Structure 1
Amino acid sequence: MEIYGYCAPGFEALYDTFAANFRESGDSGAAFAVRQHGELIVSLWAGSADRAGETPYTEDTLANVFSSSKGILALLALQQVAAGNLDLDRPVADYWPEFAAAGKEQVSARQLLCHRAGLVAFREKVSDGLIYDWSGACAQVAASEPWWVPGSHQGYAPFLYGWSVGGLLERVSSTSLPELYRRGVAKPLDLDGGFGASGHRSTRVADVGPLKQPLPELRENAVGRAIKEDRKGPVSMAFTNPVSLMMGTNSAEWRGALIPAANGHFSARDLAAVYGDLASDNPGALPPELVAEAAREQSRGRDAILQAEVSFGCGFIRSGRAADLRFGGEQGFGHPGAGGSVGFADPECGIGCGYVTTRLGQSLFMDRRSVSLVDHLYRLL
């Protein structure tokens, strides 16, 4: 496998670690990028972008990063706080009156961002096509009943997060979410991709698919067990209602839709740029006090949906002790995506990191491929 790209002096050993992911861990198209103190110190890519192995993977190839998209959405939310349009501790219903339905009248924007709103899944079965209907999905979320008293439990919202937070942002800004992204993040940081797979700077979009040989897990599959144990419970409904959430991720419908919790298509260079900015001494995307809010612990516990101990900042997952949630130092924050992608900032070291792949593992957090790259990176710092 030929590896393309660049490693700054002192970081050349990362070539071998990246190549090992292809030889030993099933990667067939992937990229890894790192910024430190604003400088791109690593940008590696290799393999193919299509299932047939005919289209080369490039530095600006966009891959679906699934929940790594949530970090970009959280950044947009904090930008609206910075602009004075959003107060994190005011009820969402103050900005979005329909959201008050079904006992959500006191749910705050902070609770939404920190996964403490109880709005983890649709309770009633919804149509497969709903996820492709932005206005319809936002309306359905606004009308939905929480699974528990808001504020009483931490429960990750795999998909509803995008429609609830995104719908709120459109109302506080009177601007469409794609335009907020273009103005606030894509244009100033010169990004390749964005939500969905069209209308971006790069038109190179990778097909994704499962790893041919599953990697050894870094932790037990507690989510899969919870789904099997209660098919109508919140964990199962969060990931499978509707079933189209788990299927068709290479389809034109998925790529053309606005599903901001899960269908962001980004390059590794994009994720490194976003988080490199947030990790810098003078971030451009957010004022320093809101970068601190992103990193500050606001909720911790055994998450009712992820079935794991997770600490949330304001919209981001905070660095933890477990290898698959370790984002550099204690002040690190970011977001992994199902299948293995990850983007994170480590302000202590000035690091912004991104890894994307076309071959999806079974973990909801980082897997052995990204962990090996990040561990090796930190041994070289």
Structure 2
Amino acid sequence: MDIQGYCAPGFEALYDAFAINFSDHGDVGASFCAVHQQEIVASLWAGSADRGGERPFEEDTLVNVFSSSKGILALIALQQVAAGNLDLDLPVAHYWPEFAAAGKQSITGRQLLCHRSGVIAFRDRVADELIYDWQGALTQVAGTAPWWEPGTQQGYSPFLYGWTLGGLIEKASGQSLMSLYRAGIADPLALAGGFGAVGHRSAEIADVGALKKPLPELRDNAIGRSIKQDRQGPVATAFTNPVSLMTGTNSEQWRSALIPAANGHFCARDLATVYGDLASEDPQLLPRDLLHSATAEQSRGQDAILQADVAFGCGFIKSAAARDLQFGGPAGFGHPGAGGSVGFADPEAELGFGYVTSRMGQSLFMDQRAIGMMECLYRLL
């Protein structure tokens, strides 16, 4: 495999670690980037961006990073807190009156961000096309009842998170999510990617598909087991209602829609740049005090949907001892995406990390490819 890109002196071992992901772990197209003390110390890419192998993967080739999108969405919400437009401890209905329906009148923005709202899936079966209709999805989620009493337990919201939090951001700010992303994040950092409907600086989007050979499992597939045991339960419903959430990924309809919990399209450099800023001593994107409080632990426990012990800050997953949730040091925070992509910040090391891949593994958190890059990188720091 012809590895393209750059490694700063002392970081050359990352070339070999990246190559192993292609030779041993099934990668077909991927990119990796690390930002240390606000300087790019590695930016690598290789492979092809399309299924036919005709388009080369470039540094700014965008990949659907699935739930890694949530970290960027959370950042937009926190910027509205910094601007004085949003108070996370007020009810969402203060800004969005329709959201009070079906027992949601007391849910706060903080509960949305740390997955304690109980609004984890549509209760009624919805049409496949709904996810491509931003206003329609907001209306639907505003009328949806929580699956349990808000605040009583932690339950990850795979897709509705994007509409609940995105709707709150728009109502509180009076601006579109697209314009806030551009003005607050994409333009200041010159990012190549964005959410589907935001539009991208890069014209290249990689086709995603499953790894031909599954990677070794790092934990029991409790989610898959839960889905099989109860097809109508909250875990199955959260991931499959509607089924287009699982099947539409490479379509133009998906890529042009705004599904902010799951259809962010970014390159590794984008994620490393964002998290590199958040890991710096003087972040550009958020006031340092707000960032510190927002990335402190807000909720921890055996998550009702992820079926794993997970700790959340305000929209970010906290670093843990488990290898697939170890975002550098103990102060690390970020968000993995289904399939293998991940971005995280390690403030103690002043490090931003980004890895995106077009070949999806089965882990909901990090898999051996990102872990291998992370472990190699930390040996070199």
**Range of TM-score over shorter length:** over 0.9
Which residue matches 1:39?
Answer: 39
Q: Deviations over 1:314-346 (max 9, x none)?
A: 110000000000001111000000000000000
2:277 aligns with 277
Deviations along 1:198-227, one digit per CA (max 9) or x if unpaired, are 621111110000001111111111000000
For 1:114, the aligned partner's letter is C
Cα distance change on mapping 1:198 and 1:55 into 2, 3 Å: farther
Matches within 5 A, 1:19-34: 19-34=19-34
| SS across alignment from 1:324 | helix
Which residue type is aligned with residue 93 of structure 2?
A
- The residue matched to 2:26 in structure 1 has which SS? coil
Distance 2:345 2:370 in 1: 14
Contact in 2 for aligned 1:197/1:264 (Cα 8 Å): no
Q: 2:220 maps to what in 1?
A: 220
Paired AA for residue 67 in structure 2? S
Cα distance between partner residues in 1 of 2:293 and 2:247 = 35
SS at match of 1:34: strand
Code of the aligned partner of 1:287: P
For the residues of structure 1 that align with 2:293 and 2:117, how far apart are their CA atoms? 18
Q: Do the aligned partners of 1:198 and 1:255 also contact (CA within 8 Å) in 2? A: no
In the alignment, the residues of structure 2 paired with residue 213 and residue 293 of structure 1 have an alpha-carbon distance, to the nearest angstrom, of 41
Distance 1:232 1:184 in 2: 39
Q: Is 1:171–2:149 an aligned residue pair?
A: no
Deviates more, 1:109-118 or 1:194-203: 194-203
Residue 375 of structure 1: aligned partner: 375
**Alpha-carbon separation, structure 1, partners of 2:371 and 2:200:** 29
* 2:338 aligned residue: 338
- Check whether the contact 2:178–2:197 (CA below 8 A) recurs between aligned residues: no
RMSD: 0.7
DSSP-derived class of the 2:72 partner: helix
Q: Identity of aligned pairs, percent?
A: 70
Tell me, yes or no, if the aligned pair for 1:69 and 1:264 is still in contact at 8 Å. yes
| Residue 293 of structure 1, CA deviation | 2.2
- In 2, Cα distance between equivalents of 1:42 and 1:152: 43
Letter matched to residue 202 of structure 2 = S
Aligned to 2:120: 120
Alignment: residue pair count: 381
Secondary structure of residue in 2 paired with 1:334:
strand
After TM superposition, give the deviation of residue 290 of structure 1 in Å. 1.6
* 1:190-229 superposed matches below 5 A: 190-196=190-196, 199-229=199-229
Task: Report the equivalent of 1:141.
Answer: 141
Deviations 1:7-44, CA, capped at 9 Å, x for gaps: 11111001001000000000000000000110000100
Aligned residues of 1:62 and 1:197 also touching (Cα < 8 A): no
What is the one-letter code of the residue matched to 2:313? G
Partner of 2:150: 150
Give the partner amino acid of 1:110.
R
User: Helix, strand or coil: the match of 2:310?
Assistant: strand
Distance in 1 between the 2:159 and 2:291 partners? 24
Structure 1 alignment gaps of length 5 or more: none
Q: Which residue of 2 aligns with 1:247?
A: 247
Looking at structure 2, the residues matched to 35 and 99 of structure 1 have their Cα atoms a distance apart, in angstroms, of 39
Cα displacement string for residues 327-376 of structure 1 (whole angstroms, at most 9, x for unaligned residues):
01111000000000000000000000000000000111000100111011
- 1:120 aligned partner, one-letter code: I
- Is the Cα contact below 8 Å between 1:197 and 1:265 reproduced in 2? no
**Which secondary structure does the structure 1 equivalent of 2:56 belong to?**
coil
Q: Describe the SS at the equivalent of 2:314.
A: coil
> What is the CA-CA distance between 1:294 and the residue it aligns to?
2.8
Worse-matched range after superposition: 263-272 or 195-204: 195-204
SS in 2 for 1:362: coil
TM-score, reference length from structure 2:
0.99
Secondary structure of the structure 2 residue equivalent to 1:356: strand
